[in-house]
Structure 1
Amino acid sequence: MKAMIFAAGLGTRLKPITDTTPKALVPVGGKPLLQHTIEKLKLAGFDEIIINIHHFGDQIIDFVKSNKYFDIRIEFSDERASLLDTGGGIKKASHFFNDNKPFLVHNVDILSNIDLNQLYNYHLNNNAVATLVCSCRKTSRYLCFDSERQLKGWVNIKTGEVKSSIPEFNSNQYIQMAFSGIHIINPEIFNQMHKFEDRFSIIDFYLSICNDEKIVYYSNGNSQMIDVGKMESLEQANKFFS
């Protein structure tokens, strides 16, 4: 199975650590975040991985090489010239997903006990083009799903901004879920990315096609999930492994 790890972020919320180190190599529980992610994917049967790189990308390449590519196929999608955002990053790596099978996308700074095989099977059984791992955690931005778990819009509850192609969209009429940064995608969606420039958000892309394509959420009430994107979450992340 194939997967993509997002490791190109600047890690600005983890300064000053990321002044000299890419976020992907920030240590948690005795290992860099990237190693935790690769090992989790490998354990679940993902043996072909592409990693996008930008900030201190050479350090990430050297780390993977020094670990002998973790005895699986690992390639790099080089965004050092220009960050492409989440949608653009997936589009640039599209050549890697040439087997017509669903693939996993995983943010490097997300730690969880999500069963990735269960997630993958859920995606297959629901005949969706994309399955987004979501949770009920508090945040300012939510994805909005209908009673069939299908994506219908997005809302920023602090600003009141909404995104949806539904006329007079009311986010309060939908299930509001926080996106985790883990998703399963069918490669057929690449056929619809031509209308977007090289740099774009995958969420904006999902919202542009969700009325015509089935995009659903996956949530496990017993799951633990930590976003290690900011300093205050590092201590929590270390406890996750203790």
Structure 2
Amino acid sequence: MHAVILAGGYGKRLRPLTDDKPKPLIEVAGKPILEWQILHFKKFGVSSFIFLTGYKWEVLAEWVSKNEKRLGISAYFSIEEEPLGTGGALKKVKDILSNKNEFVVTNGDVVTNLDFSKMDVKESVATIALVPLKSPYGIVETRDDLITSFREKPVLENYMINAGVYMISPKIFDLLPDKGDIEKSTFPKLAEAGQLKGIKFKDVYWRSIDTLKDIEEASGELPQFITS
């Protein structure tokens, strides 16, 4: 199976850390996000990686080439001359993946230990991993006008969000835009057609690294949940 890493974004909210490197190379708990992802995929036997790159692609390619042998992977790079969006970037590697079996896709800023082998596309074109929403704020619980308790940034089990990890069938290439995001263009169409599944993962670690605070908090959390 191939793993496709969406690694073409600018990472503007993480500047100045992304002034000289792409977001997936930001270090969390002593390793780049990208290395955490590779190590997790390898636990499931995935060793073939396709990196969809754009911003600072040379830096990412250099890091991968230096670590390819150590990590025991094979790598292919697709370079965007201009931003194509997640859908357009994926369509650009159609020739590599269209004649293969299903493949897994992940955003380049996500660290997780979810078991993507539980996802399949037997009755769908794509399957999205869903995780519970963690409130960015503390919750105040009340009874009438009285405050009864406080909950510090709880996980809201009844509200599921897109985890940025997808299992995809090659059938999707007929539905991808030349330019645009798969989440905004293709997935809504698949949902309307009943061809988009969502698998809920509730007892897993998941974090999107978007801010300096995310780096700080994830650096303390990751070693507990993801082992190399």
Q: TM-score range by the shorter chain?
A: 0.7 to 0.9
3-state DSSP class of the match of 1:229?
A: coil
Could you list the runs of 5+ residues in structure 1 that have no partner in the other structure?
A: 141-174
Distance of 2:93 and 2:171 partners within structure 1: 14
TM-superposed CA distance for 1:72, in Å, is 2.3
Percent of aligned positions that are identical: 28
| Mapped pair 1:132 → 2:133 | no
Report if the CA contact (8 A) 1:50-1:74 is conserved.
yes
TM-superposed CA distance for 1:209, in Å, is 3.1
Could you list the runs of 5+ residues in structure 2 that have no partner in the other structure?
A: 137-157, 224-228
| Mapped pair 1:189 → 2:172 | yes
- Cα deviation per residue 1:7-43 (whole Å; 9 max; x = unaligned)? 1110011111111221111111111111111121122
Structure 1 residues 177, 118: closer, same or farther in 2, change over 3 A?
same
Distance of 1:101 and 1:129 partners within structure 2: 12
Report if the CA contact (8 A) 1:48-1:74 is conserved.
yes
Give the match for residue 201 of structure 1.
Answer: 181
In terms of fraction of residues, the more strand-rich structure is 2
3-state DSSP class of the match of 1:180?
A: strand
Report if the CA contact (8 A) 1:50-1:96 is conserved.
no
Distance of 2:66 and 2:12 partners within structure 1: 26
Give the match for residue 217 of structure 1.
Answer: 198
Q: TM-score, normalised by structure 2?
A: 0.81
Give the match for residue 36 of structure 1.
Answer: 36
| Aligned AA (2:62) | D
Distance of 2:201 and 2:207 partners within structure 1: 14
Report if the CA contact (8 A) 1:227-1:233 is conserved.
yes
| Aligned AA (2:220) | K
Report if the CA contact (8 A) 1:100-1:188 is conserved.
no
* Over 6 Å off, 4+ runs: none
Report if the CA contact (8 A) 1:129-1:213 is conserved.
no
Give the match for residue 150 of structure 2.
Answer: none
| Aligned AA (1:96) | I
Distance of 1:25 and 1:220 partners within structure 2: 26
| Aligned AA (2:182) | I
- Cα deviation per residue 1:129-178 (whole Å; 9 max; x = unaligned)? 111011220579xxxxxxxxxxxxxxxxxxxxxxxxxxxxxxxxxx8531
TM-superposed CA distance for 1:210, in Å, is 2.4
Report if the CA contact (8 A) 2:125-2:190 is conserved.
no
Distance of 1:224 and 1:36 partners within structure 2: 13
Distance of 1:29 and 1:37 partners within structure 2: 13
Aligned pairs, how many? 200
Report if the CA contact (8 A) 2:68-2:74 is conserved.
no
Distance of 2:14 and 2:53 partners within structure 1: 17
Distance of 2:217 and 2:87 partners within structure 1: 29
